[in-house]
Structures are given as C-alpha cells and as structure tokens.
A and B are shown apart, each in its own frame.
Chain A
Amino acid sequence: MSVYHTLRSSVVIGYMLSIAWVRRNLLSLVWLFATPFSILFLITVTSGGHAFVQATIGTILFVLATVGTGLAGDATWYRLEVKLQDLFVASPVSQMGYLLGIALNGLFFATPALVILLPVLVYLGLPLIDLPLVMLAVCAVWLFSATIGYIVSTYVTNLRNGWQSGLLLSVIVAVIPPAFYPAEILPPNILPIAYLMPTTHASLILRSFIGQTPELAYWSPAFGWTMLGVSLVVALLVMLRLARWRQP
C-alpha cells in the first residue's frame, strides 16, 4: 500500500472515530473540554501558582500521552466489540494506516488542550517561531504512546483488561517520568531510567524552548531530540514486529 493510501486511510479512520462521532454526539464535547485541565488546576492551586509552568508542560504531555495509551482500551474495544480490526485486516487498509487512524482519533480528542495550552506556553515565553518544533515534540510523545497502547491492545483478550492496561500505561508514560515535576529533583542514579521515556525528553525540550534549559547530567536538547526520535522509531518497529494484526 502506498504512503498516500496509508495516510488517506488513516485520516478517514481518524475522522470516522472522532469528528464524525462528535458531530453525532455533542455530549462528547463536554469530556473533550473538561477533563484535560483537572491536574493543571490541582497542581496550580496546591503550589500557589509556583508550579504553573511545569504543570502546563506536564498537562500538555499528559493529555497527549493519555490519548495514546488509552488506545490499549479503545483499540481493544474496536477489535473485540466492534470487530473494526477484523474488518480492516481483510481490506486494502494496512496495519500502519489503521494504527495512525485510531491514533489520530485520540489526537482529535486532545486538541482542546493543545489549542488552549500552547498559547499559554507562548504567553509564558515560548517564541512563536519554535511552536512547530514544540508540536513536533509533543506529537512524538503522542505517537509513541499510541503505538505502545495499540501493541498492548492486540494481546488483550477482554475489554476490562484493555481499559486497565491503558490506565497503567498512562501512569508509566506520563505520570512517573518528570513531566509534572522538574527532572532536577530526581536522584542521579534514577535519571538514566527517566531518560528511557520520551516524555522526559519532551518535557525538558519544552522547558528549554521557554528559556528554562535544564542543567542535568548528559542531557542536551540534541540528546533529547535524538532520544525522542529513537524511541518513536523503536516503538513503530516493535509494533510492526509484535502487534497482532493477523491473529496467530
């Protein structure tokens, strides 16, 4: 399948599961606008406003990571209940087209957070010219998380475990790594473990874009970008190798 067809399929599948869904079910908009900001609100209030910058970065990454890892549940539902995966396996749609499609669906549900919080980052000091690079970094986290969520979903045999896996993955990808808190507070021997998570690098990259370049052992923006790229490529390769498109 050509790249064009893969992208076309993914856009249609993404539209089908997000925009078409919301158009027919306006209640989804409430969830779309209400939930992403709850942690930002909590951290800002409990820190008396001091942690607002880090909390904003954390919220952006958390939302993107969560809509990705949430695929562990969503994609399980599509596969077991809707039989959408079966439908598309026996069709010209490729596995990559399907993954990107269901991932785009998640990205759509993250757009309110991005639309509101990216301008906040600009207000906090992010140069407008760097906005595309910031989007690139957060999208890398989104696609990484979606890929991991999808891989897990192909092994899950019941829906409840799918949702539970999604929650666990979101903790691993978005809560434990230093996204909501500064990486500097981590002990030096834990830092290399945090470097394994793309969320860590995306958070540090975003901080450096708004003039708060972290001073950490072995870390630089170039290292951060490299790790982001490598983790995404590795996740996609693992997906192509291990995710069960056709069941064994």
Chain B
Amino acid sequence: MTAIQSSSLVKVYHKSKTPALKKVSLTVNRGQIFTLLGRNGAGKTTFLRVAATQLLPSDGKVEVLGSDVVSEAAKIRKKIAVVPQEGNTIGPLTPWDHVYLTLLARGMTRADARDRTRKVLDQLEMTSYQSKPADTLSGGLRQRIRVAMAVATDAELLFLDEPTLGLDAISRRRIWSVLKDICREGRTILLTTHYIDEAEILSDNVAVINSGTLVTSGSPKELLSKVDERVRVDVTGDRFTEDDLARYGRPVRIAERWRVLTDNKRAGELTIEAVRRNCDVSVSPVSLEDLFVDLVGGEEENATMSGDEK
C-alpha cells in the first residue's frame, strides 16, 4: 500500500527562475519511516509541503493516501499532521495547552484529547514541564512540544520537517524512539533531515535530494551497497599527503583529518602505517554519510553536515 506517490513533480516558486523540485518521482509505502535527506535548500521541505497540501505543485502529480493533493486536499487533510520546520511555540501557553487544544481543534473529543496529551507528554518525558509556560522552557523542550502536537494526533501520515533540529543527543534519541513506536502502530512518517545518522538509524527508506533532483533512494542497506568501499579509515594530523593516502584508497579531507575509503586489507595496512607515524587513527564501516558526500557533497559541506558535527 502506498502512502505517497509522486510522479514527475515540479515546483517553481513564484518569481523564481530555478525550479525547487525537478521532476521528482518517488514512492513512500505505508507503515514506513521515509526520510528525505539533503543539504539545506535541496528541496526536501518543498517536497514535504507539497505532499502535506501546504503548497501547490507547478507540474506533475502527487497522490497522498490515494487522493490527489490538488483536487482532493480536504480528504487528505483529515488523515495527516505536520511538524513545520523551525516554528515557534505560542508564548505563555503550556505544553499541555499546545497539545490538548490542537487535538480539540482537529475535532477530537475531550476525553480522547486528554488521554493522548497525557500519553505523548509522558512518551517525550515532558510530564514534569506540562504546566510551565512554553516561553520559559529551553529551545529543545519547545521543539519537543511541536513534535508532540503532531505525534499526539490520530493522523495516518505524519510529516516531520527536521523535527530534531537543535536538539541534544538524548532528546533526539527520545524522539526517535517515539517515532519508531508510531511506525509500529502502522502509521507512516515522512521525515526530512540533514542529520545523516538520523536517516541511517531511523529510516526504512531514504531518498537523497540535491538541487531539487532525486539522486537516489532505497533502504539504508541498499544505499550502502552502492558504495564501492566497505571500510573507512580516519587519520588525524598532517603526516600524510593526499598522494600518500591515495595508495591505500580514496582520500577525502574533512577539517583536520583525512578520511580514506578503502577495503579491509588496505585499511589494515594504512592503520599500521598511521600508528608507525604516530597519528591518531580510527577504523569503521562506511556509512550513509560517505555515500551522501559521494553523491552531493563537497568537502566543506561534508564537515558541516556530518552527524559528528552536531
């Protein structure tokens, strides 16, 4: 069963000459966490907003839960909820007010709204803050309120636009856990992020978007199989030149270190050589980040977009 089906979706913003989306075709199956991964301005949010009926497509076709986003938006809106990117909470309202009143506005009964509000605040570990004004809470807690407002609904399909932006590692993991629970309930999540570790850990399927174009898609495992090398070796310091490292594999400069993508045998050789030259060295399997850099990133971008940098 398909949750979202886009065919040759094009979006050109008013007064813009460059398309934000260029003939993007992708399928999101029901009951999945599907992640749109890309750099800032790649077109992730635009795709999400078109599918969430917030933005009109310029060309192409998008069906959400079997209905067309242009002609049947009202049908879709009964079954979806969204966490918009970088929104704010409403001044002095408490987390309880935000969630409970949003559910009532959507048409939920008071009893259901109370139960769901209690449950989601508990899941997101916000019970002890539930009566505090939002404008006295930290940025991370306010972001959790915004996630709770969507997660607490009974929507079949959730659109989460960078839901963990600016959160600390523990808060992010808490939200991931809640999103996994939602998925187990059979609901679908379309998520955008530029945190590669988030995409890798959380997603059933990932689509990489760059400059409005769908670059690749598949499960994290399928995507990883597209990288020729199996292992990466990170070497810190300047005791190797690029030419030195090229003998062991494919070197990429990341800030103060070199990353060499290679195979197991040459990784072993490089590690021995790095230890001999008194360099810090670490070896790990290639990740989605390496594929991402291959597909869309320059070295500088990689340094700012790596999950390690958060």
Contact = CB atoms under 8 A, between A and B. Distances in A.
Contacts of B84: 83, 86-87
Given A21-B93, A24-B93, A82-B87, A87 B74 contact: no
Contacts of A12: 101, 104-105
B94 A24 contact: yes
Which bracket fits the contact residues of A?
20 to 34
Contacts of A21: 90-93
Contacts of B149: 87
A238 interface: no
Interface stretch (A1-9, A142-150, A222-230): A1-9
Contacts of A90: 52-54, 77, 80-82, 159
Contact of A20 (B81, B89, B97, B150): B97
A101 interface: yes
Interface in A105-137: none
A8 B107 CA distance: 8
Given A1-B74, A16-B101, A87-B149, A92 B87 contact: no
B152 to A, nearest CB: 12
Interface in A6-53: 8-9, 12-13, 15-17, 20-21, 24-25
B14 A248 contact: yes
Contacts of A248: 14, 56
B54 A86 contact: yes
Contact of B92 (A8, A25, A91): A25
B83 to A, nearest CB: 8
A219 interface: no
Nearest to A13: B105
A196 interface: no
Contacts of B85: 83
Nearest to B74: A1
A24 B55 contact: no
A93 B74 CA distance: 9
Given A1-B74, A91-B80, A246-B73, A25 B91 contact: yes
A82 B88 CA distance: 4
Contacts of A13: 101, 105
Chain B, interface SS category: loop
Contact of A247 (B55, B78, B133): B55
Interface string B40-62: 00000000010011111000000
Contacts of A16: 90, 93, 97, 101-102, 105
A168 interface: no
B54 A82 contact: no
A82 B98 CA distance: 12
A235 B78 CA distance: 27
A1 to B, nearest CB: 7
Given A20-B101, A92-B77, A247-B54, A86 B14 contact: no
A234 to B, nearest CB: 24
A42 B235 CA distance: 76
Contacts of B105: 8-9, 12-13, 16, 88, 91, 93, 97, 101
26 contacts: A9-B106, A9-B107, A17-B90, A20-B97, A20-B101, A24-B97, A25-B92, A82-B90, A83-B87, A83-B88, A86-B87, A87-B82, A89-B52, A89-B53, A89-B77, A90-B52, A90-B80, A90-B81, A91-B77, A91-B80, A91-B106, A94-B74, A246-B53, A246-B56, A247-B56, A248-B56
